[in-house]
Structure 1
Amino acid sequence: MTKNADTAEALAYAKGRVRFARDTPIDIVDGLPSVRFLSKVDGRRFVQEMIKNLARSDDSFLAEHTEYASQGWGIADAAIRDLIVETVRGGSPMLPSLSAYSALLTAGPVPKKPGKEKADNIFRDIAIALIVDDVSTRFNLSPTSNGKSENPSACRVVAKALEAANMLKGHKLVEDIWKRFGSSVKSS
């Protein structure tokens, strides 16, 4: 098989893995929503529900995340707001940290932190790193290239697959994701 044929096969495989990660909901934890790993909305919803579940059973966790919400962490803000609504609708007494945050909300808008929230893309980035590792292992490709080589890297192949799905642009972003998560997801 030629190098071009191998690359085409690796790209076709990567496109299939991207489609799967984008379209297939996965149950990770009982009682929490399924996650399509390449969906920002699913990732945010999962983290928000996880915060709510942990806050319901741990007062110090609730207090800590209420503080995060008051500092502008949007996902904590959404989770704490949901808990306030659930508490009021359920007719239960409000815990002090929920009551304090509810009062803060009535005083005016809570400032938002500038920039992206790390939780927004955590599932996406882990899924991309896993796909890079899979393509690298299956097709015996280096995860990254040194920039001088003509040989394709798994990051370049996965970047093309993501671009074909209108998800990400550029292999440098995929390489940055690999640098952050690659050592955590590498198969042995």
Structure 2
Amino acid sequence: MRRLVPLAAFVLCGTVVMLAGQAPQAPAAAAPQAAAPAGGPPADWLPPTPKNLKVLPKETDPKQLMEIMRGYNAAMGVRCVYCHVAGPDPNDMSAYNFESDRKEHKEATRAMMKYTDAVNQAFPKEVGDPPKPGESYVTCFTCHQGQRHPPLKPKAAAPGAPAAAAPPRP
């Protein structure tokens, strides 16, 4: 039974990846707006120069970093404080300790960044249309769909789509 669990996880991930190449992708991020997103930093705010990048390229500038972080906000439905240590006022971005690795969500995000990169590198080129330059086959949104935790139940199948497989019997 123990050997079946990793196999089942692999098959599930493979199915998600395969369907991701055929499913509509998340809309591209809109241009920054003048108003602040609800609960987020002002659109024109930039963090200090990053000092603790472990997965993203070290030369990522603050503007690029904000675009990436806003993508995570949208893909997972979370705000900065989910991964970063806030000061006394979570709305005061200048008081955040962005360098800290104290929050476990930050490490989990790094692990998932590596995972999605590996999936995209191994994605079968003959499945679906190739992504546009700068895009990926699989993103955080592919699984999270704007939610903190990926939904465990599949959405209702469209007419004519194959039904979800029944769980294995003990």
- TM value normalised by structure 2: 0.29
- TM value normalised by structure 1: 0.27
- Structure with higher Rg: it is 1
Name the structure with the higher helix share.
Answer: 1
